[in-house]
């Protein structure tokens, strides 16, 4: 695709890039990990061949423990359901990874490119737990939500898959059409702490 | 506000992640054309609706999108067990000594 | 007169260095930081704070807490910030606070309604309104109008709330409700196991009863133990302390709702902060340490200002250095209340006498009072108070509680304050919220929490344990037990228990209703529930009339219906009922307490889910373009869809005509991104489609599209759309915008619960694609300019799809048509949606490509007779009714969803409502959508209706108006006339015709 | 029956209200009744009253496991209206509304039936189409109704947020002027008092534990106070209907759900009509005491606990603020729940059964209160004649087999 093609992430209209650096004292830090490749993978986690195929294609074993995630140089994989995973890959590589998966996998499976369907919002900062507590009913304590865990749950009045990246950093996988709502929600919820865009 | 164990995510989650989906273990007749209108109506509309122990389906809508079964007391709202689709309950009214 | 009742005192709970000015009923007063509005008013000697609801009797402050029925104010200085009905006893004083009474006209001290109350009061027994105002029926609305004038306490604000609210979710091992001695002890003991602990208290600081107690702990003031304990808890990472936080509800599976008042004590409208925050705590274990409320005694004229609860009097003295009067008479059934007389005496004011209803007592407090020289009269009671706007004196007489009688002559004592104590009632409200029935405990003459399925513990006063040393040790034990139940610790508190010595107390008397010389019906009013003017006589009357269930008594008399929800009067009311029916209190039973424990601000309950966050608004990737180009929007589910694109100066109708003509004559463009899209993969995908759609899918080739209709199992149409065969075992299903989520769930339901053996997966890809439909004779010319494949009719046929590159972006193009024109639906990955849209617009410029919205789409499709599910159908319409039998597979092996229901009696009727077209006789007249249809014009009401108009428009292309409708047996009635009696009284005529108005052969979409 | 009037009140005030008669007696169960009615709520009491008054059957017992009017009659939000969509439903509810209009006089009990009108707001184009359709149908059925524009709505309820900036702006409304509210407890008590005066035995604290049958016909009911024989047994047990049905081995097309309602603290009068919104999902009126009476949707799960989940309260209050932003600082006093038995088509069952002498009136879902007199009236007819009243005929249980459902989900709307 030519260079003149304008690509717009779901939060493009919020012009986050222009807000970067406008404040650096906020208790909440927001970053849109925009325009990454997103693939939805379906398959039978009891099927050894399927698991082996994925491992070969992605260089990492599929996380089959509920709510777990895995990472390789190629991809970040999040468990969504016993037969469903989200594979996040570098921007633009989704097509190749999809083809690779299709070539390695046999039998009953499904892959869908959903790169346009969602975006990833990274929330961190000293007040991030408070903001998350305002937004989701899931228990954020490290005992119940350790680093690396991914949880499909409610986020305000929409849903999100939430991955804990570190003790005070979360990735939210948010649907494109709800992203403006989530952006408004985050602004409202972080008012008392201050919001820094990075 | 119920707290429900999702047998697929294998942990307790808030009621708001789920939506109730009615009585469990209703099987679609294999031969719809051969049964009477009354039998068909029974499958479509008639329900146990028990006061007490109930087996019902819930959907983990905000989580894994799986339907599963819940055994719950409809008076105290206490949940006895949750189990996967296709499985049978361990706690039943007869086992509990209720009718 | 300034703070006449404030004594020197030594309370640390108020800050004498910070004087606050406030106003009440237009008059200025002064108080101190740490005061409540109630303590400040009492300090200033204000007696009358309100008027009673029914009789307009003057009322004063009775309590110091959430039981207060009288001091219900309007607080706030503007129409935006005013708060109706807060209790003065629970409102922290701040500089500049503005308060007024909620009743009383023209004012509380001179209330004209009181005259009415005095004269008419005798005609207003409980339930009087059921017995009158009936004749004639037509006048009830006028009576009611007058009655409503007197309704209500405070007034709603008239302007929008400037404050914001939010919520937080928490999880913990042990949630402790109540920060008094039991709660603090429980928190400390639970927290020391490492358990995650949350403790909340409704007051502005922790300590509960200890804040006004004088009983030493570890040889120090109790407040010092509180301070030390709170400090210890604050230092622990696993403990969260929530003062000023009321648990308003205890919900199933241990969810506790708490409202934290964050700024109310600071003043009005504190910008940049949340006024109130609701905390929703999911706790593994809940400890209720809510303590007990003191019960007043029920005696004649017990509502005259100056009549107070004994413990409230002590609270004002010890906590606020306020003695609310000069001459006290204390009436009690127990030793405990002697403290009040002792406090009063030690504050340097006169105790006229203690009246003890018991025959005798030799408890330590009794002896202490006597030693201080306080007069004690046993076996007597205050049977009647004298006074109007303030107590002037009391009549004291010997009584026999056994047969509810006065046994001797009454003696008059002059005084200005009557404190009464009938013992204590555990605060069982929260334990009742989850459906648990409280049980009566004779030893304490009170209800305690009953059996529950919740993971719940209770301790201290709530269990009827009142001696401080026992309360504290109970707290420590319960904290450890609860922590262990949550998986933490050994279940035993091993630390040092604080030392305190409880005064030895004699047995209390269970007494609720003081007899009078006259029988209850003739005695001066003996109030049980002050706010609703419920009296002992009223309750007895209700019982006499046959209202015997306690619920009936409550409903007939309004007992417990006030904003204190019966905290003050319920037990007394039950006891009076029990006595009058000759039953015991447990036989009589209790009414069930429900949330809210105390009234909770609407704004807090809604949290941040207001205004633009009330419900998520969903947008397509091209939304900004639509905004920039002046679109008006339509709400479709949560989506904001362009409705039409008015140009400057255009009416809506003009816009629509322009959009329609442009599309029919050249080319239009629609943002169709909101349609649901489901990626279906697997070798059994076709079989699955066969089962959920009414039409067959076995033979649809790769590269082809097909329209399908989905029914529910009852045979009624539920969704429709085009499904595309991408590969042999892969399909993309489109659904209606509103139906997207429901259809996906529907497919999953059948797959997961009925046919798990079918190998098929469903994934939503709705948001992945931006979809733009270009439609019109010039659409191909536009596409050609920016597309890398041959789009001629020969190589890209109607109902085909092709992969292509459009404006440099990978796309799937579906050649399907909802307008009846040559159309191409271009789907691109949504991140390229805006780019592609702009490229198409640029390419179409030479053809005057015209964006159109949902309304033009609706007109164009209706001209073709295409249905909109949800507009032309309503859940009672089958494919046959829609004259769409062509979409029903006749040879499908599987009895697909909905099929069986079509053979039921009702489905075989030939007079079912069927989809037809309507042509109004007047070709310019647009039939109203929703107009009802009749066959016979001249009918009297009720008319026999045979259908209604589902869609109706003026067609700019055809030059006449037209409609879609359902009409009984309509398919076989084409050419007949029907009539539409409209709401303006006119009746219009229309002719039944085919629903396909435009290009019936379908030539235009096939070019 | 002792006549009630303003004069009576004056007279009794002179004797300190010591001589008021009992409103109903507290009889010992007889061995046999012609009709036993299971359930002493509004519908059951109305059924007994009309059986006695219009069909001359007075040997009746109303058997109530708790206290009279203690179920949904005591827990609803008191709205009365008849602007339903389909002919069958609107005729039934209109029949009821007409009875309401003279009921206080007939029962000599002030039910405070206040015809302050009901607004059903429309927030989408489809809402407005549905409103047009329903109001047109109502008018041609002889039921009053009007479609109002946004401006007319604003004029009628100045405190309603009708601005375009609302998340779901108000596009108009339907208005039924004859609709309104009534005092819920009074309806049960009024019918109970009148039925008692006609000789009906009201048996409180009497719980049915079984239904005795012989040769396909009922013989009577087993209760905690012994067996009571009866020629006919009529079940009017609302949320507990399935429990009674189970006693004779029947299942019904019902699910019982919690339905929550709530009230604010009393406020000075500010809202003079009932405002309902299906789309924003809440409704509110103001009682004569000044409380805002607020209703919501049902909880989705089966529940006999007379309580629902907190999130329904949260959403409902948010909806009320969406409509009335000025109520944000008002405070919620109490929330509670009833048990509503809902049918798949949101319409009731008024029906004979395959067991001779056994009748059911159930499935009213969220709409039972407004139908109280009408339902009692047509059910009494159905029992007395052993054939359905013409208005009750479409509501037979057979409709679930024949497919003649009457889908009122749209007009039933938010639960109320």
Q: Convert the pLDDT of each residue in C315-324 to its tens digit.
A: 999 999 999 9
Domains and their CATH numbers in chain D = 6-78+184-253+345-412 (3.50.50.60), 114-180+256-342 (3.30.9.10)
Average pLDDT, rounded, for chain C: 96
Q: Is-contact C355 C381, C-beta < 8 A?
A: yes
Same domain, A107 and A177: no
Q: Supply the DSSP string of C618-673, one letter for each residue.
A: B--TTHHHHHHTT-EEEEETTEEEEEE-PPTT--HHHHHHHHHHHHHHT-EEEE-T
Cβ count within 10 A of residue D346: 23
| pLDDT (average), residues C397-418 | 97
Chain C neighbors of D347, CB-CB under 8 A: none
Same domain, A61 and A102: yes
| Residue from A81, A117, A156, A191 to probe the interface with C (highest C Cβ count within 10 Å) | A117
Residue of D nearest to B41 (CA): D401
CA dist., res. C669 & res. C626, Å (int): 12
D310·C255 Cβ contact <8 A: yes
Chain B neighbors of A66, CB-CB under 8 A: 8-11, 64
Number of Cα atoms under 13 Å in the Cβ half of residue C111:
27
Q: What is the pLDDT of residue C591?
A: 80
Chain C neighbors of A108, CB-CB under 8 A: 682-683, 759, 761
Q: Which of B41, B49, B72 sits opposite D401 (nearest CB)?
A: B41
pLDDT at C18 over 50: yes
Structure tokens at D272: 């003079």
C14, containing H or E segment: none
Q: Name the domain boundary from A98, A113, A128.
A: A113
Q: Which of D242, D301, D344 sits opposite B20 (nearest CB)?
A: D301
| Cβ–Cβ contact B5 with A under 8 A | no
C521·D17 Cβ contact <8 A: yes
Give the minimum alpha-carbon distance from B86 to chain A in angstroms, rounded to a whole number.
15
**Cα–Cα distance list, C27 to C4, C24, C96, C380, C932 (Å):** 16, 5, 12, 41, 63
List the beta strands (DSSP E) in D166-309: 172-176, 180-181, 201-203, 208-214, 217-223, 226-235, 255-264, 274-277, 282-286, 292-298
Binned at pLDDT 50, 70 and 90, residue C217 comes out as very high
Q: Convert the pLDDT of each residue in C677-734 to its tens digit.
A: 999 999 999 999 999 999 999 999 999 999 999 999 999 999 999 999 999 999 999 9
For residue C613, give the DSSP letter: G
Q: Is-contact D35 D231, C-beta < 8 A?
A: yes
Lowest-confidence segment of C145-149, C733-737, D86-90 by average pLDDT: C145-149
The number of folded domains in chain A is: 2
CA dist., res. C41 & res. C502, Å (int): 33
Interface of C with B in 250-269 (CB under 8 A): 251-255
Chain C neighbors of D182, CB-CB under 8 A: none
Q: Convert the pLDDT of each residue in D162-190 to its tens digit.
A: 999 999 999 999 999 999 999 999 999 99
Q: Convert the pLDDT of each residue in C602-658 to its tens digit.
A: 999 999 999 999 999 999 999 999 999 999 999 999 999 999 999 999 999 999 999
Q: Is-contact C489 C480, C-beta < 8 A?
A: yes
Give the minimum alpha-carbon distance from D407 to chain C in angstroms, rounded to a whole number.
7
| Residue from C173, C249, C253, C906 to probe the interface with B (highest B Cβ count within 10 Å) | C253
Q: What is the pLDDT of residue A3?
A: 54
Burial code (b: 16+ CB inside 10 Å, e: under 16) for C75-110 equals: bbeeebbbbbbbbbbbbbbbeebbbbbbbbeeebee
CATH class of C526-604: mainly alpha
Whether residue A95 is contained in a domain is answered as yes
Structure tokens at B97: 């000594």
Same domain, A148 and A79: no
A→B interface, C-beta within 8 Å: 66-67, 80-82, 84, 137-138, 144, 151-154, 159
Calculate the CA C163 to chain-centre distance: 18
**Cα–Cα distance list, C420 to C6, C59, C326 (Å):** 22, 16, 16
CA dist., res. C103 & res. C56, Å (int): 8
Q: What is the pLDDT of residue B95?
A: 67
B9·A154 Cβ contact <8 A: no
D48, containing H or E segment: helix D42-55
Q: What is the pLDDT of residue C761?
A: 98
Whether residue A63 is contained in a domain is answered as yes
Q: Is-contact D162 D169, C-beta < 8 A?
A: yes
Chains that touch B (3 or more CB pairs under 8 A): A, C, D
| pLDDT (average), residues D231-252 | 97
Main-chain dihedrals φ then ψ at residue D302, nearest 5 degrees: -70, 135
Same domain, A138 and A42: no
Give the minimum alpha-carbon distance from A101 to chain B in angstroms, rounded to a whole number.
22
**Cα–Cα distance list, B88 to A42, A83, A101, B66, C749 (Å):** 26, 21, 36, 17, 18
Chain B neighbors of A173, CB-CB under 8 A: none
Q: Which of A138, A157, A192 sits opposite C273 (nearest CB)?
A: A192
Cβ count within 10 A of residue B76: 18
Give the minimum alpha-carbon distance from D316 to chain B in angstroms, rounded to a whole number.
15
Which CATH number belongs to the domain containing residue A132 in this structure? 3.30.1360.120
CA dist., res. C603 & res. C607, Å (int): 6
C761·A110 Cβ contact <8 A: yes
Whether residue A89 is contained in a domain is answered as yes
Chains that touch A (3 or more CB pairs under 8 A): B, C
Chain C neighbors of D134, CB-CB under 8 A: 930
Chain B neighbors of D304, CB-CB under 8 A: 51, 74-75
CA dist., res. D63 & res. D233, Å (int): 10
Structure tokens at D233: 């047994």
Grouping H, G, I as helix, E, B as strand and the rest as coil, residue B6 is strand
Listed in sequence order, the residues at least 6 apart from B97 whose beta carbon sits closer than 8 Å to its beta carbon are none
Chain C neighbors of B3, CB-CB under 8 A: 253-255, 282
Same domain, A137 and A107: no
| Cβ–Cβ contact D146 with C under 8 A | yes
Give the minimum alpha-carbon distance from C204 to chain A in angstroms, rounded to a whole number.
22
Whose tokens are 């006229």? That residue is: C352
- CATH number of the structural domain C164-289+426-485: 3.50.50.60
| pLDDT (average), residues D317-321 | 98
Whose CA is closest to D10, among C120, C543, C524? Answer: C120
B1·C900 Cβ contact <8 A: no
pLDDT at D358 over 60: yes
Structure tokens at D72: 């949904």
Cβ count within 10 A of residue B75: 18
Same domain, A56 and A93: yes
A154·B10 Cβ contact <8 A: no
Opening angle at CA B15, ends A124 and A148, nearest 5 = 35
Q: Convert the pLDDT of each residue in B64-97 to its tens digit.
A: 999 999 999 999 999 999 999 999 999 998 765 4
Listed in sequence order, the residues at least 6 apart from D11 whose beta carbon sits closer than 8 Å to its beta carbon are none
Helix-strand-coil split of chain D, %, nearest 5: 35, 25, 40
D167·C547 Cβ contact <8 A: no
Q: Convert the pLDDT of each residue in C277-313 to its tens digit.
A: 999 999 999 999 999 999 999 999 999 999 999 999 9
Same domain, A138 and A101: no
Give the minimum alpha-carbon distance from C479 to chain B in angstroms, rounded to a whole number.
23
CATH class of C1-161: alpha beta
Burial of C494: CB neighbours in 10 Å, binned 0-12, 13-18, 19+: exposed
Structure tokens at A41: 């993978």
pLDDT at D414 over 60: no
Q: What is the pLDDT of residue D296?
A: 81
Whose CA is closest to D346, among D67, D73, D92, D145? Answer: D92
| Proportion of chain C above pLDDT 90, given as a percent | 94
Q: Is-contact C868 C876, C-beta < 8 A?
A: no
Give the minimum alpha-carbon distance from A47 to chain C in angstroms, rounded to a whole number.
14
| Residue from D122, D188, D310, D408 to probe the interface with C (highest C Cβ count within 10 Å) | D310
Cβ count within 10 A of residue C360: 10
Chain B neighbors of C905, CB-CB under 8 A: 37
Same domain, A63 and A96: yes
Give the minimum alpha-carbon distance from D41 to chain C in angstroms, rounded to a whole number.
13
A81·B64 Cβ contact <8 A: yes
Q: Which of B42, B56, B75 sits opposite D305 (nearest CB)?
A: B75
Listed in sequence order, the residues at least 6 apart from C41 whose beta carbon sits closer than 8 Å to its beta carbon are C24, C29, C49, C61, C71, C88
Grouping H, G, I as helix, E, B as strand and the rest as coil, residue D293 is strand
Burial code (b: 16+ CB inside 10 Å, e: under 16) for D280-307 equals: bbbbbbbbbbbbbbbbbbbbbbbbbbbb
Ramachandran quadrant class, C258 (left: phi over 0; alpha: psi -120 to 50; beta: rest) = beta
Main-chain dihedrals φ then ψ at residue C995, nearest 5 degrees: -75, -10
Give me the helices (H) in C100-191, please.
113-120, 140-149, 181-191
pLDDT at C270 over 90: no
CA dist., res. A6 & res. C832, Å (int): 7
Whether the model pTM is above 0.90? yes
What's the length of chain B? 99
Q: Is the omega angle on the peptide bond into residue C942 within 30 degrees of 0, that is, cis?
A: yes
C714·B44 Cβ contact <8 A: yes
**Cα–Cα distance list, D160 to C639, D80, D170, D292, D326 (Å):** 24, 21, 9, 14, 9
Beta bridge mates, C391: C387
Domains C671-860 and C903-1006 share a fold: no
List the beta strands (DSSP E) in D265-406: 274-277, 282-286, 292-298, 331-342, 349-352, 358-362
Residue of C nearest to B64 (CA): C748
Q: How far apart are the first and last CA of chain A?
A: 28
Q: Convert the pLDDT of each residue in A38-92 to its tens digit.
A: 999 999 999 999 999 999 999 999 999 999 999 999 999 999 999 999 999 999 9
Q: Name the domain boundary from A96, A113, A130.
A: A113
The boundaries of the domain holding residue A152 are: 12-34+117-197
What topology does CATH give the domain C295-422+508-518? FAD/NAD(P)-binding domain (3.50.50)
Domains and their CATH numbers in chain B = 3-96 (3.30.2270.10)
Give the minimum alpha-carbon distance from D245 to chain C in angstroms, rounded to a whole number.
24
Q: What is the pLDDT of residue D416?
A: 46
**Domains of chain C: which residue ranges?**
1-161, 164-289+426-485, 295-422+508-518, 526-604, 671-860, 903-1006
Chain B neighbors of D402, CB-CB under 8 A: 37
Q: Is-contact C273 C266, C-beta < 8 A?
A: no
Residue of B nearest to D305 (CA): B75
Q: Name the domain boundary from A62, A85, A113.
A: A113
Burial code (b: 16+ CB inside 10 Å, e: under 16) for C22-61 equals: bebbeeebbbbbbbbbbbbbbbbbbbbbbbbbbbbbbbbb
Q: Convert the pLDDT of each residue in D35-44 to its tens digit.
A: 999 999 999 9
Among 1.10.3720.10, 2.40.50.140, 2.40.30.110, 2.70.98.10, name the CATH number for the domain at C903-1006. Answer: 2.40.30.110
| Cβ–Cβ contact C439 with D under 8 A | no
The fourth-level CATH superfamily of domain C671-860 is: Probable tRNA modification gtpase trme; domain 1 (3.30.1360.120)
Chain B neighbors of C899, CB-CB under 8 A: 32
| pLDDT (average), residues A130-159 | 98
pLDDT at C904 over 70: yes
Q: How far apart are the first and last CA of chain D?
A: 33
C546·D91 Cβ contact <8 A: no
pLDDT at A1 over 50: no
**Complex ipTM:** 0.97
| Proportion of chain B above pLDDT 90, given as a percent | 93
Whose CA is closest to C970, among C989, C955, C992, C951? Answer: C992
Whether residue A154 is contained in a domain is answered as yes
pLDDT at C355 over 70: yes
| Residue from C282, C761, C835 to probe the interface with A (highest A Cβ count within 10 Å) | C761
Main-chain dihedrals φ then ψ at residue C282, nearest 5 degrees: -100, 110
Cβ count within 10 A of residue D275: 25
Q: Which of A112, A136, A185 sits opposite C763 (nearest CB)?
A: A112
| Residue from C102, C431, C591, C602 to probe the interface with D (highest D Cβ count within 10 Å) | C602
Q: Which of C253, C745, C756 sits opposite B1 (nearest CB)?
A: C253
Main-chain dihedrals φ then ψ at residue C486, nearest 5 degrees: -90, 5
């Amino acid at each position: 695709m030519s260079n003149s093609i304008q690509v717009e992430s779901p939060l493009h209209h919020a012009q986050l890039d222009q807000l970067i650096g406008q404040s650096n004292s906020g208790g909440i830090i927001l970053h849109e990990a925009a325009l990454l490749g997103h693939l939805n993978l379906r398959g039978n986690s009891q099927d050894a061949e399927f698991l082996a195929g994925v491992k070969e294609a992605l260089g990492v074993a599929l996380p089959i423990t509920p709510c777990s995630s895995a990472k390789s140089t190629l991809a970040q994989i999040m468990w969504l359901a016993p037969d469903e995973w989200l594979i996040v890959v570098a921007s633009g590589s989704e097509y190749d990874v999809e083809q690779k998966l299709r070539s390695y996998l046999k039998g009953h499976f499904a892959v869908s490119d959903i790169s346009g369907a969602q975006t990833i919002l990274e929330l961190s900062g000293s007040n991030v737990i408070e903001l998350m507590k305002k937004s989701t009913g899931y228990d954020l304590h490290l005992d119940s939500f350790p680093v690396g865990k991914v949880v499909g749950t409610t986020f305000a009045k929409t849903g999100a898959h939430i991955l804990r990246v570190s003790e005070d950093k979360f990735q939210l996988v948010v649907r494109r059409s709800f992203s403006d709502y989530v952006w408004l929600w985050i602004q409202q919820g972080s008012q008392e702490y201050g919001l820094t865009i990075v | 506000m119920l707290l429900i164990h999702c047998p697929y995510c294998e942990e307790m989650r808030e009621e708001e992640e789920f939506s109730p989906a009615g009585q469990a273990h209703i099987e679609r007749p294999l031969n719809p054309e051969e049964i009477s209108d009354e039998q068909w109506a029974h499958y479509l509309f008639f329900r146990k609706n028990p006061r007490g122990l109930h087996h019902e389906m819930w959907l983990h809508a905000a989580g894994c999108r799986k339907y599963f079964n819940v055994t719950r007391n409809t008076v105290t709202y206490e949940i006895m067990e949750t189990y996967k689709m296709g499985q049978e309950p361990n706690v039943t009214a007869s086992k509990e000594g209720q009718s | 007169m300034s703070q006449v009742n404030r004594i020197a005192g030594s309370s640390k709970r108020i800050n004498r260095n910070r004087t606050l000015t406030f106003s009440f009923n237009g008059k200025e007063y002064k108080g101190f930081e740490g005061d409540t509005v109630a303590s400040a008013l009492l300090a200033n000697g204000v007696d009358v704070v309100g008027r009673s609801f029914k009789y307009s009797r003057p009322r004063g402050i009775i309590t110091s807490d959430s039981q207060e029925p009288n001091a219900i104010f309007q607080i706030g200085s503007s129409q935006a910030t005013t708060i109706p009905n807060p209790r003065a006893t629970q409102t922290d004083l701040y500089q500049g606070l503005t308060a007024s009474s909620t009743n009383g006209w023209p004012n509380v001290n001179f209330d004209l309604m009181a005259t009415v109350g005095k004269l008419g009061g005798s005609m207003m027994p409980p339930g009087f309104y059921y017995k009158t105002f009936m004749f004639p029926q037509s006048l009830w609305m006028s009576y009611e109008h007058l009655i409503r004038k007197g309704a209500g306490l405070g007034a709603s604000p008239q302007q929008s709330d400037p404050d914001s609210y939010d919520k937080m979710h928490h999880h913990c091992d042990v949630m402790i409700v109540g920060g008094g001695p039991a709660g603090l002890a429980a928190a400390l003991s639970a927290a020391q196991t490492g358990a995650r602990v949350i403790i909340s208290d409704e007051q502005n600081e922790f300590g509960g009863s200890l804040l006004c107690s004088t009983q030493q702990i570890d040889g120090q003031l109790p407040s010092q133990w509180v301070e030390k304990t709170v400090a210890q808890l604050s230092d622990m990472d696993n403990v969260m302390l929530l003062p000023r936080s009321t648990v308003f509800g205890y919900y199933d599976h241990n969810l506790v709702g708490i409202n934290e008042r964050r700024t109310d004590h600071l003043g009005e409208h504190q910008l940049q902060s949340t006024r109130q925050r609701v905390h929703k705590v999911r706790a593994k274990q809940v400890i209720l340490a809510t303590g007990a409320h003191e019960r007043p005694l029920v005696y004649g004229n017990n509502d005259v200002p100056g009549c107070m609860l004994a413990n409230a009097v002590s609270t004002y003295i010890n906590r606020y250095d306020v003695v609310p009067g000069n001459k006290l008479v204390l009436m009690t059934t127990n030793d405990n209340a002697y403290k009040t007389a002792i406090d009063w005496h030690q504050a340097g004011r006169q105790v006229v006498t203690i009246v003890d209803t018991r025959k005798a007592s030799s408890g330590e407090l009794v002896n202490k009072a006597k030693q201080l020289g306080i007069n004690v009269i046993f076996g007597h009671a205050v049977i009647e108070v004298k006074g109007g706007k303030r107590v002037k004196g009391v009549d004291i007489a010997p009584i026999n509680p056994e047969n509810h009688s006065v046994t001797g002559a009454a003696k008059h004592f002059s005084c200005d304050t009557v404190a009464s104590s009938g013992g204590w009632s555990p605060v069982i409200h929260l334990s009742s919220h989850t459906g648990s029935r409280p049980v009566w405990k004779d030893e304490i003459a009170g209800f305690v929490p009953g059996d529950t399925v919740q993971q719940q513990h209770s301790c201290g006063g709530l269990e009827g344990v009142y001696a401080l040393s026992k309360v504290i040790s109970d707290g420590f034990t319960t904290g450890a037990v609860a922590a262990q139940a949550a998986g933490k610790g050994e279940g035993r508190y091993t630390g040092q228990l604080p030392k305190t010595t409880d005064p030895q107390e004699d047995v209390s008397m269970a007494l609720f209703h003081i007899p009078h010389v006259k029988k209850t019906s003739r005695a001066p009013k003996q109030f049980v529930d002050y706010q609703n003017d419920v009296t002992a006589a009223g309750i007895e009357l209700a019982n006499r009339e046959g209202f015997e269930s306690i619920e009936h008594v409550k409903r007939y008399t309004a007992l417990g219906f006030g904003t204190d929800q019966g905290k003050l009067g319920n037990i007394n009311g039950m006891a009076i009922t029990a006595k009058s029916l000759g039953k015991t209190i447990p036989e009589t039973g209790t009414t069930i307490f429900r949330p809210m424990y105390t009234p909770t601000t609407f704004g807090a309950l809604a949290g941040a889910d207001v205004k633009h966050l009330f419900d998520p608004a969903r947008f397509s990737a091209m939304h900004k373009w639509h905004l920039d180009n002046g679109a008006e929007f339509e709400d479709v589910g949560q989506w904001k869809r362009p409705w039409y694109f008015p140009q400057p100066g255009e009416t809506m109708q003009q816009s629509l005509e322009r959009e329609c003509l442009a599309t029919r004559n050249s080319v239009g463009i629609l943002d169709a991104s909101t349609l649901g899209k489901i990626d279906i993969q697997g070798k059994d995908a076709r079989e699955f489609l066969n089962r959920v759609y009414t039409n067959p899918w076995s033979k649809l080739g790769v590269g082809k599209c097909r329209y399908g209709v989905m029914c529910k199992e009852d045979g009624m149409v539920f969704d429709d759309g085009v499904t595309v065969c991408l590969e042999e075992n892969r399909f993309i299903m489109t659904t209606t915008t509103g139906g997207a989520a429901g259809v996906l769930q529907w497919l999953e339901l059948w797959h997961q619960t009925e046919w798990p053996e079918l190998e098929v997966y469903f994934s939503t890809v709705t948001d992945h694609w931006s979809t733009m439909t270009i439609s019109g004779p010039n659409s191909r010319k536009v596409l050609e300019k920016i597309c890398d494949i041959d789009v001629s009719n020969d190589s890209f046929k109607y109902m085909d799809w092709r992969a292509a590159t459009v404006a440099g972006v990978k796309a799937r193009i579906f050649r399907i048509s909802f307008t009846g024109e040559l159309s191409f639906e271009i789907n691109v990955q949504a991140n390229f949606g805006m780019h592609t849209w702009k490229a198409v617009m640029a390419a179409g410029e030479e053809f005057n490509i015209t964006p159109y919205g949902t309304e033009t789409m609706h007109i164009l499709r209706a001209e073709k007779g295409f249905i909109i599910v949800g507009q032309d159908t309503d859940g009672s319409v089958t494919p046959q009714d829609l004259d769409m039998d062509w979409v029903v597979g006749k040879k499908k092996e599987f009895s697909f969803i909905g099929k069986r229901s079509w053979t039921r009696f009702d489905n075989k009727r030939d007079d079912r409502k069927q989809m037809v077209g309507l042509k109004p006789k007047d070709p310019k007249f647009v039939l109203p959508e929703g107009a009802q249809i009749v066959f016979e014009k001249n009918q009297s009401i009720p008319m026999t209706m045979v259908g209604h108009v589902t869609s109706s428009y003026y067609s700019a292309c055809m030059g006449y108006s037209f409609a879609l409708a359902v009409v009984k047996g309509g398919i076989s009635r084409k050419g007949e006339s029907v009539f539409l009696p409209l709401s303006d009284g006119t009746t219009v005529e229309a002719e039944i015709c085919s629903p396909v108005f435009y290009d019936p052969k379908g030539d235009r979409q096939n070019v | 029956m002792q006549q009630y009037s303003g004069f009576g009140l004056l007279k009794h005030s002179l004797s300190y209200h010591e001589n008021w008669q009992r409103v109903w007696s507290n009889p010992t169960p007889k061995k046999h009744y012609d009709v036993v009615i299971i359930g002493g709520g509004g519908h059951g009491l109305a059924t007994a009253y009309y059986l006695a008054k219009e069909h001359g059957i007075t040997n009746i017992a109303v058997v109530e496991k708790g206290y009279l009017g203690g179920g949904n009659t005591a827990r609803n939000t008191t709205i009365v209206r008849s602007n339903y969509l389909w002919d069958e439903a609107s005729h039934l509810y209109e029949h009821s509304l007409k009875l309401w209009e003279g009921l206080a006089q007939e029962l000599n009990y002030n039910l405070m039936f206040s015809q302050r009108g009901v607004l059903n707001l429309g927030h989408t184009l489809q809402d407005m189409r549905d409103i047009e359709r329903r109001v047109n149908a109502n008018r041609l059925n002889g039921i009053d109704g009007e479609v109002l524009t946004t401006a007319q709505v604003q004029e009628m309820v100045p405190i309603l947020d009708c601005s375009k900036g609302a998340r779901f702006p108000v596009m108009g409304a339907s208005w039924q002027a004859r609709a309104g509210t009534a005092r819920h407890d009074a309806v049960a008590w009024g019918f109970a008092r009148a039925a008692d005066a006609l000789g009906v035995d009201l048996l409180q604290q009497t719980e049915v534990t079984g239904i005795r049958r012989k040769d396909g016909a009922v013989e009577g009911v087993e209760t905690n106070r012994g067996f009571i024989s009866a020629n006919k047994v009529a079940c009017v047990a609302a949320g507990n209907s399935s429990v009674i049905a189970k006693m004779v081995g029947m299942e019904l097309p019902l699910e019982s759900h919690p339905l929550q309602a709530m009230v604010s603290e009393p406020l000075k009068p500010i809202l003079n009509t009932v405002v309902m919104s299906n789309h924003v999902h809440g409704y509110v009126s103001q009682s004569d005491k000044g409380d805002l009476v607020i209703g919501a949707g049902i909880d989705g799960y089966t529940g006999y606990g007379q309580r629902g989940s907190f999130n329904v309260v949260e959403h409902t209050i948010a909806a009320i603020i969406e409509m009335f932003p000025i109520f944000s600082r008002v405070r919620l006093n109490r929330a509670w729940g009833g048990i509503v038995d809902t049918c798949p088509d949101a319409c009731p069952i008024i029906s004979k059964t395959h067991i001779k002498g056994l009748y059911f009136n159930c499935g009213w879902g969220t709409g039972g209160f407004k139908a109280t007199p009408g339902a009692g009236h047509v059910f009494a007819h159905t029992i007395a004649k052993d054939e359905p009243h013409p208005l009750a005929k479409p509501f037979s249980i057979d409709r679930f087999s024949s497919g003649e459902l009457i889908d009122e989900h749209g007009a039933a709307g938010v639960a109320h």
